Amino acid sequence: MRGKRENEVAVIFLSERTGEDEPGYARAAARMSALAAEQPGYRGEEGARGADGRGVTVSYWADEASAVAWRDQPEHAAIREAGRARWYRWYQVNVTAVTRSYEWTRP
């Protein structure tokens, strides 16, 4: 858990990987995480991927404008095209407002 999140925008990226070009994917994924962290309005990300190649990454943004700016960022757009060509069987993006958040940690 990353802390309480409210009044942010969450971009939920669901996907299934092809398994092609694992080293290229790893480099691109690391670059995208670093690049996102440099963007105005970025609030963090979390994700998980199963052995079957299906995964989810959620990035958090201060507002809708910040999330749209990330979508339109030129390097991100180029990597997105590479992902469509090589790394993803499919993906789905859902954008939503976080209106309530809570967490629990085992004592």
CB–CB of 96/85 below 8 Å? no
- Looking up tokens 């990987």 gives 17
Residue-by-residue DSSP string for 30-68: HHHHHHHHTSTTEEEEEEEE-TTSEEEEEEEESSHHHHH
Q: Residue 58 CB: number of other CB atoms within 10 A?
A: 19
Q: 37 in a domain, yes or no?
A: yes
Q: 87 in a domain, yes or no?
A: yes
Predicted confidence (pLDDT) per residue in 42-100, tens digit: 999 999 999 999 999 999 999 999 999 999 999 999 999 999 999 999 999 999 999 99
Grade residue 2 by pLDDT with cuts at 50, 70 and 90: low
What is the pTM (predicted TM-score) of this model? 0.90
pLDDT at 68: 98
- Looking up tokens 């967490």 gives 103
Residues 6+ apart with CB under 8 A from 53: 16, 17, 18, 19, 89
pLDDT at 5: 84
Domain that includes residue 46, residue range: 8-98
Total domains in the fold of the chain: 1
In sequence order, what are the beta bridge partners of 75? Answer: none
Q: 104 in a domain, yes or no?
A: no
* CATH number of 85's domain: 3.30.70.100
Q: 30 in a domain, yes or no?
A: yes
Which tokens is 92 given? 């789905």
Q: 15 in a domain, yes or no?
A: yes
